[in-house]
Amino acid sequence: MKVCIIGCGSMGLIYADLLLKTNTVENSNLCLIAKNEIHRDKLQLQKYSNIKFLDESNIHAADLIILAVKPQDFLSIKDKISGKINPKALVISIMAGISISSLQNNLLHNSCIRAMPNAPALFGKGMTVFCYSSALSEELINFGEQILSLTGKSIKTNDENILDLVTALSGSGPAYFFYQAKLLMAAAENIGMDLEMAEILVKQTLIGSAELVANTNLSLDQLVNTVASKGGTTEAAINHFNSSGFEKIIFEGLQKATQRSKELAQELL
Ligand SMILES: NC(=O)c1ccc[n+]([C@@H]2O[C@H](COP(=O)([O-])OP(=O)(O)OC[C@H]3O[C@@H](n4cnc5c(N)ncnc54)[C@H](OP(=O)(O)O)[C@@H]3O)[C@@H](O)[C@H]2O)c1
């Protein structure tokens, strides 16, 4: 199998590394597309052996093309690859906001998957939701799922509209947890703890909590209840969150992010 990755920034290289690490593809069959000589030289200093600039020959040879450029760079690459893709090849795009029909129309290629991964993909702990073109065979859907699952969990859907909410929830999600952790640190400092100590406590609590979620069958409600005993300290904080409209703020934040995802997609049209 020959794989071509266009856009070798943080996400593109995650796929490159996982494809090599899992022996899904051999180094010589993994073609990384560099944007310019500086980018190529940077990639060459790493472990990759096959780095090219975008042209017809490396596109046509690929059985799988992963599009991992920023959405606004799609227009600059599409002219070079439109109509040049092997009709049997699968195109997986992780670009936010570029629809399946836009991929198909701009690339003149039918077999497309549109996926929304997230940053923990770096450690194989990612969450990807993907949808696929209606013409895609079961075999190519399964193949695409296998590739996307290298980065963690994946869910397929035939409802493309849900991808805006997915972008807002799991795509942006890691930042929401980091943001809350930062607020907890600042609050602890204000109440009287040294910031360095607060950072250790908050980060380790975040890591430990994720492990708990990952390694138990308990629901999130049950997990809250295992920590929050009646009349205790956790309950005091949670009661305050509840009576101060925290739930509404989270709901509205998610709504805003979903709306922004829709707007960005419109701006790209
Ligand atoms: N990061 C995330 O957490 C995340 C999550 C979900 C989805 N995504 C999606 O993943 C895509 C990539 O994101 P990223 O964070 O990996 O961005 P990134 O680090 O900026 O990587 C994009 C890469 O594409 C390269 N590029 C641009 N035009 C090119 C061209 N014509 N030929 C070859 N390479 C070109 C850029 O090169 P230069 O740096 O030289 O310009 C850069 O290395 C985006 O569409 C984003 O929506 C990202």
Measured in Å, residue 8 CA sits from the centre of ligand 1 at 7
Residue 234: closest CA among 246, 245, 243, 224: 224
**What letter would DSSP give residue 245?**
T
Give residues (CB < 6 A) around ligand 1: 6-12, 33, 35, 39, 54, 68-71, 73, 76-77, 94-96, 116-119, 171
Q: Return phi, psi of residue 127, to 5°.
A: -125, 115
Closest protein CA for atom 42 of ligand 1: 9
Closest CA to ligand 1's atom 3:
119
Q: Are 36 and 12 in contact (CB under 8 A)?
A: no
Burial class (CB in 10 A: 0-12, 13-18, 19+), 185: buried
What distance in Å separates the CA atoms of residue 99 and residue 113, rounded to the nearest whole number?
10
Backbone angles phi, psi at 225, to 5 degrees: -70, -25
Task: Say how many Å lie between the CA of residue 28 and the centre of ligand 1.
Answer: 22
Q: What is the pLDDT along the chain (269 residues), one digit of tens a residue?
A: 999 999 999 999 999 999 999 999 999 999 999 999 999 999 999 989 899 998 888 899 999 999 999 999 998 899 899 999 999 999 999 999 999 999 999 999 999 999 999 999 999 999 999 999 998 999 999 999 999 999 999 999 999 999 999 999 999 999 999 999 999 999 999 999 999 999 999 999 999 999 999 999 999 999 999 999 999 999 999 999 999 999 999 999 999 999 999 998 888 76
State the closest ligand 1 atom to the C-alpha of 76, by its place in the atom list counted from 1. Answer: 31
Q: Which fold has domain 173-265?
A: ProC C-terminal domain-like fold (1.10.3730)
Conformation bin of residue 241: beta by default, left when phi > 0, alpha when psi is -120 to 50:
alpha
For the CA of 167, the closest atom of ligand 1 is 6
Q: Which fold has domain 3-158?
A: Rossmann fold (3.40.50)
Spatial contact of 174 and 120, defined as CB atoms under 8 Å apart: yes
Handedness of CA 185, 186, 192, 194 (dihedral sign): positive
**In b/e form, how buried is each residue of 121-138, taking b as 16+ CB within 10 angstroms?**
bbeeebbbbbbbbeebee
- Measure the CA–CA gap between 167 and 190, rounded to whole angstroms: 33
Tell me the pTM: 0.94
Q: How much of the chain is helix, strand and coil, in % rounded to 5? A: 60, 15, 25
Q: What are phi and psi of 53, to 5 degrees?
A: -95, 160
* CA 184/CA 189 separation, integer angstroms: 9
**Where along the chain do its domains lie?**
3-158, 173-265
In this predicted structure, what is the pLDDT of residue 195?
A: 98
Stated as kind and residue range, the H or E segment containing 182 is helix 173-191
What is the model's pLDDT at position 56?
A: 82
CA of 73 to the centre of ligand 1 (A): 8
Q: Residue 130 has what pLDDT?
A: 98
What does DSSP assign to residue 69?
Answer: S
